[in-house]
């Protein structure tokens, strides 16, 4: 948990201090602390239904009694950060000197792929973080993001997204880390720890259930049972709060079984605070309070919406005060809301401001100038994350490519910078509303990176990402015919609310490549030229046909500003691919939703004519070397409240050095409720020279095998457990153990992390 800073000159304890502040506040001053303000202009639509709300343009008038949050000071439009920092410092000084209580505002920004600001480093999207299976690297990345944010006076980051992927048709898959809750939890918790180590609070998104929307549609209802919510959807949040000390949570837009999360006290208060002991702030997703009236229709007006949200436990209304202002005042004065609920929220906000040092901040110092948001250190980290995230799905030996081969580069994503970035990157999130503005960062395209790697290559675009124009096919076919190998760079364009093929509000009912891209691939394959398919996407597509027919298939999930070089390095062999699929590669849209965590009845086979087997399983990825496993050891028995020690010897049996991701899985053989056919217990990325062996040791807390029983108690149950290393679907080495002892209920003190260490044999 973030440590409360020492208060310069303060003679009272922190709790007493904020209680004294609260006692001095008028109702207007209290409400000012639980709302944000977003200074935006018409046409700057980067949030759902943003145009349905009146824009308050006079910030000083709005903040005359103080202000809780300033929304996206740097991330709403392209602005010079030095000039904007001067504006921010001046505004914060006005709050300190010009309001009665002198309390500065919390400044929050998006930081899903790095600080979302003009000229800031843009890292790979979270789905790529998951593909690295490298929490330590993600933590280093988050540290660098936090450094930039804190330097600019930003106090809170709206990340990470801890939604567990349930359906690849959902447009926001690219914002998520994985389909496995433990992988999401470990990667997400590392991000939280990195960001918060720099004094920037992480806001976990989206608590909870958002990714389980029906048919993969954004804002669709969620019909998940309590067991699925507890054992899958809540696990990453539990880890990030109890293990990572996350200081803020953003509620989900979702409604679960008819109850909107923003109006659900059983989740926002009963579970989050009373059971888990969370003492940070709960912020609304943008306009989420108003949506209780406008979309969910559980409130007759904004006053009722404010009452429901505040009662449930939503402390701060973002991005701007629409319901927690005049509508809430009216509800209080009419006696429909107890002012004690306001006090509860205000105390939480004041406590957060105390933690952040804002109650003693004067902003008398000079604002920052010349902050390098895209330093060589940033770029080096972005490059490493990108390199570790590229997944090799198929290879008949064509890769790596020799330098002297004639290469034709073809495809709509080969020479587009936007193809490398996710929806919440500044380039794809904000700049589309500002045409003609330079991205402000150096972003080589894949074509440029391939020319740097191989020298002269030919190029033909072939088609667009998402239209029916085939006029470029002939030129692409001619280029492929004249080459010794064709590199096709296909995939997505991230965008918002229908302006892309993937991203927020860009869902799909078809997991074929967008537009006529598959037709272009088929046309190039028909030339007989060996074809390497490179996918730059924000979701997994149904490309089993390509894996079977292309010489090689490379998957990159929006790999960021250094992503093109990572792809070129993989194609040349300069980089040995080591990414692993953080989400199953689907065989068809009709098999969705699908998760590798399915129970036996969900496998199909003899009970249905429809094959649900994915084209490539969770955890899959090829290398330019080979690895072998032996001596998987586990004790015959382990107590239900104990630690399961597992070890395995891993050997690089190939001729080149490479990274292997050692994955430990389990299956509960017989359970009192149905259990998944596979469950990730732990993982470790290891680097091995040719011929080298290491022993990987895991210490698995039994809480990793907990589940919700028939009485809806989460516990560890005795019984036999199968163990293996490999992927969820492929067992390279196997063992068994038996959990012994009584049923063990899980408490907030139960460890959830799997520990792993390496030793040479």
pLDDT value of position 638: 97
Q: What's the number of CA atoms in the CB half-sphere (13 Å) around residue 334?
A: 10
Is the pLDDT at 508 greater than 80, yes or no? yes
pLDDT value of position 49: 66
Q: What's the number of CA atoms in the CB half-sphere (13 Å) around residue 3?
A: 5
Q: Among the residues of 257-375, which ranges form H helices?
A: 265, 288-294, 302-312, 326-333, 339-355
Q: Lowest-confidence range among 12-21, 107-116, 524-533, 750-759?
A: 750-759
pLDDT value of position 46: 65
pLDDT value of position 749: 85
Helix axes 473-481, 517-525, angle to 10 degrees: 30
> Phi/psi of residue 46, each to 5°?
-130, 20
Is the pLDDT at 528 greater than 50, yes or no? yes
Residue owning tokens 């991230």: 494
Mind giving me the DSSP string for 20-84?
HHHHH--HHHHHHTTBEE----TT---STTGGGSPPP--HHHHTBTB-SEEE-TTTSS---HHHH
What is the CATH T-level fold of the domain 390-607, as seen in this structure? Rossmann fold (3.40.50)
Distance CA 475, CA 477 (A): 5
Residue count of the chain, please give it. 761
Adjacent-strand bridge partners of 66 = 64
Rounded average pLDDT over 547-555: 98
Instruction: Considering the chain, tell me which residue range(s) the CATH 3.20.20.300 domain(s) occupy.
Output: 14-360
Percent of the chain having pLDDT more than 70?
A: 95
pLDDT value of position 754: 72
pLDDT value of position 572: 98
Tokens, residue 263: 């109006």
Helix axes 302-312, 339-355, angle to 10 degrees: 60
Mean of the per-residue pLDDT values of the chain = 94
Is the pLDDT at 441 greater than 90, yes or no? yes
Contact 401, 451 (CB under 8 A): no
Distance CA 60, CA 42 (A): 19
Query: Strand 719-726 and strand 658-668: pairing?
Result: antiparallel
pLDDT in tens, 293-345: 999 999 999 999 999 999 999 999 999 999 999 999 999 999 999 999 999 99
**In the chain, what are the helix, strand and coil shares in percent, each to the nearest 5?**
35, 20, 45
Contact 734, 601 (CB under 8 A): no
Adjacent-strand bridge partners of 651 = 628, 693
Query: Strand 637-639 and strand 731-740: pairing?
Result: parallel
Rounded average pLDDT over 672-678: 96
Is the pLDDT at 48 greater than 80, yes or no? no
Rounded average pLDDT over 414-419: 98
| Of 636, 71, 507, 4, nearest in space to 316 by CA | 71
Tokens, residue 417: 């910078």
pLDDT value of position 527: 98
pTM beyond 0.85, yes or no: yes
Rounded average pLDDT over 477-488: 98
Instruction: Give the Cα-Cα-Cα angle 371, 375, 376 (nearest 5 degrees).
Output: 160
Q: Taking the CA atoms of 728, 732, 736 and 742 in sequence, report the sign of the dihedral they define.
A: negative
| Of 171, 284, 187, 180, nearest in space to 233 by CA | 180
What is the CATH T-level fold of the domain 627-759, as seen in this structure? Immunoglobulin-like (2.60.40)
Sheet containing 627-633: give its strands across: 627-633, 643-652, 693-701, 755-759
Instruction: Considering the chain, tell me which residue range(s) the CATH 3.40.50.1700 domain(s) occupy.
Output: 390-607
Tokens, residue 683: 């993982």
Distance CA 95, CA 107 (A): 13
Rounded average pLDDT over 689-696: 98
pLDDT in tens, 152-175: 999 999 999 999 999 999 999 999
pLDDT value of position 187: 98
Q: Is pLDDT larger for residue 41 or for residue 83? A: 83
Per-residue confidence band for 611, with pLDDT thresholds at 50, 70 and 90: confident
Adjacent-strand bridge partners of 114 = 112
pLDDT in tens, 422-438: 999 999 999 999 999 99
Contact 500, 410 (CB under 8 A): no
Number of H helices, E strands in the chain: 21, 27
Contact 308, 262 (CB under 8 A): yes
pLDDT in tens, 447-476: 999 999 999 999 999 999 999 999 999 999
Provide the CATH number for the domain formed by 14-360 in this structure. 3.20.20.300
Contact 614, 703 (CB under 8 A): no
Q: Lowest-confidence range among 217-226, 267-276, 349-358, 625-634?
A: 217-226
Rounded average pLDDT over 123-134: 98
pLDDT value of position 609: 77
Instruction: Considering the chain, tell me which residue range(s) the CATH 2.60.40.10 domain(s) occupy.
Output: 627-759
Cβ neighbours for 392, distance < 8 A, ≥ 6 positions apart = 399, 552, 553, 554, 555, 570, 577, 579, 621, 622, 623
Instruction: Tell me which H or E stretch contains 183.
Output: helix 181-196
| Of 595, 684, 718, nearest in space to 231 by CA | 595
Q: Lowest-confidence range among 106-110, 406-410, 726-730?
A: 726-730
pLDDT in tens, 50-77: 666 655 568 999 999 999 999 999 999 9
Distance CA 531, CA 287 (A): 47
């Amino acid at each position: 948990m973030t440590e409360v800073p020492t208060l310069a000159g303060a003679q009272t304890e922190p709790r007493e201090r904020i209680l004294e502040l609260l006692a001095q506040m008028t109702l207007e001053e209290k409400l000012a602390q639980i709302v944000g303000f977003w200074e935006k202009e018409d046409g700057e639509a980067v949030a759902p239904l943003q145009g349905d709300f009146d824009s308050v343009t006079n910030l000083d008038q709005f903040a005359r009694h103080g202000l809780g949050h300033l929304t996206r000071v740097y991330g709403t439009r392209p602005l010079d950060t030095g000039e904007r920092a001067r504006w921010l410092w001046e505004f914060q000084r006005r709050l300190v000197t010009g309001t009665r209580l002198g309390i500065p505002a919390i400044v929050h920004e998006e930081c899903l792929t790095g600080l979302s600001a003009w000229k800031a480093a843009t890292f790979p999207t979270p789905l790529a973080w998951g593909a690295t299976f490298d929490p330590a690297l993600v933590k280093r990345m988050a540290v660098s993001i936090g450094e930039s944010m804190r330097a600019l006076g930003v106090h809170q980051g709206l990340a990470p997204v801890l939604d567990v992927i349930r359906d690849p048709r959902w447009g926001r898959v690219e914002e998520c880390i994985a389909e496995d809750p433990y992988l999401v939890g470990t990667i997400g918790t590392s991000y939280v720890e990195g960001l918060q180590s720099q004094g920037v609070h992480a806001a976990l998104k989206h608590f909870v259930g958002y990714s389980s929307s029906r048919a993969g549609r954004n804002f669709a209802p969620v019909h998940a049972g309590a067991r699925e919510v507890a054992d899958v959807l809540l696990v990453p949040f539990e880890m990030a709060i109890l293990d990572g000390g996350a200081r803020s949570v953003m509620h989900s837009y979702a409604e679960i079984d008819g109850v909107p999360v923003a109006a659900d006290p059983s989740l926002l208060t009963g579970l989050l605070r009373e059971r888990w002991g969370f003492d940070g702030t709960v912020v609304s997703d943008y306009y989420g309070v108003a949506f209780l009236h406008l979309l969910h229709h559980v409130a007759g007006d904004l006053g009722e919406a404010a009452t429901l949200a505040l009662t449930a436990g939503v402390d701060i209304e973002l991005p701007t005060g629409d319901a927690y202002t005049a509508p809430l005042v009216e509800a209080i004065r009419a006696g429909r809301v107890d002012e004690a609920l306001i006090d509860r929220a205000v105390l939480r906000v004041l406590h957060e401001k105390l933690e952040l040092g804002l109650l003693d901040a004067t902003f008398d110092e000079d604002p920052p100038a010349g902050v390098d948001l895209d330093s060589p250190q940033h770029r080096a980290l972005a490059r490493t994350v990108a390199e570790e995230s590229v997944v090799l799905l198929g290879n008949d030996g064509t890769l790596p490519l020799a330098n002297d081969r004639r290469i034709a580069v073809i495809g709509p994503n080969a020479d587009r910078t936007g193809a490398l970035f996710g929806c919440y990157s500044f380039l794809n999130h904000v700049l589309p509303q500002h045409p003609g503005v330079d991205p402000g960062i150096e972003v080589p395209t894949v074509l440029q990176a391939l020319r740097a790697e191989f020298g002269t290559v030919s190029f033909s675009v072939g088609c667009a990402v998402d239209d029916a124009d085939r006029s470029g096919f002939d030129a692409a076919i001619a280029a492929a015919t004249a080459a010794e190998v064709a590199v096709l760079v296909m995939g997505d364009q991230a965008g918002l609310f229908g302006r892309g093929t993937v991203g927020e509000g860009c869902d799909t009912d078809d997991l074929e490549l967008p537009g006529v891209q598959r037709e272009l691939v088929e046309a190039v394959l028909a030339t007989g030229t060996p074809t390497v398919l490179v996918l730059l996407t924000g979701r997994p597509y149904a490309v089993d046909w390509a894996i079977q027919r292309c010489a090689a298939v490379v998957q990159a999930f929006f790999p960021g500003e250094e992503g093109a070089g990572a792809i070129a390095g993989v194609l040349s062999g300069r980089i040995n691919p080591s990414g692993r699929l953080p989400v199953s590669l689907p065989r068809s849209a009709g098999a969705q939703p699908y998760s590798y965590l399915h129970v036996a009845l969900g496998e199909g086979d003899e009970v249905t004519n429809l094959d649900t087997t994915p084209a490539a399983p969770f955890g899959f990825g090829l290398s330019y070397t080979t690895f072998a496993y032996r001596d998987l050891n586990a004790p015959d028995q382990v107590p239900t409240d104990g630690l399961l020690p597992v070890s395995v010897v891993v050997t690089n049996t190939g001729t080149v050095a490479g990274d292997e991701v050692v994955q430990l899985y389990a299956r509960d053989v017989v359970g009192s409720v149905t259990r998944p056919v596979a469950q990730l217990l732990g993982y470790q990325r290891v680097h091995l020279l040719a011929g080298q062996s290491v022993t990987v040791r895991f210490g698995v807390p039994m809480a990793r095998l907990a589940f919700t029983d028939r009485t809806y108690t989460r516990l560890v149950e005795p019984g036999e457990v199968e163990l293996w290393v490999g992927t969820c679907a492929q067992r390279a080495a196997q063992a068994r153990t038996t959990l012994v002892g009584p049923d063990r209920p899980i408490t907030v003190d139960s460890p959830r992390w799997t520990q792993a260490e390496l030793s040479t044999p």
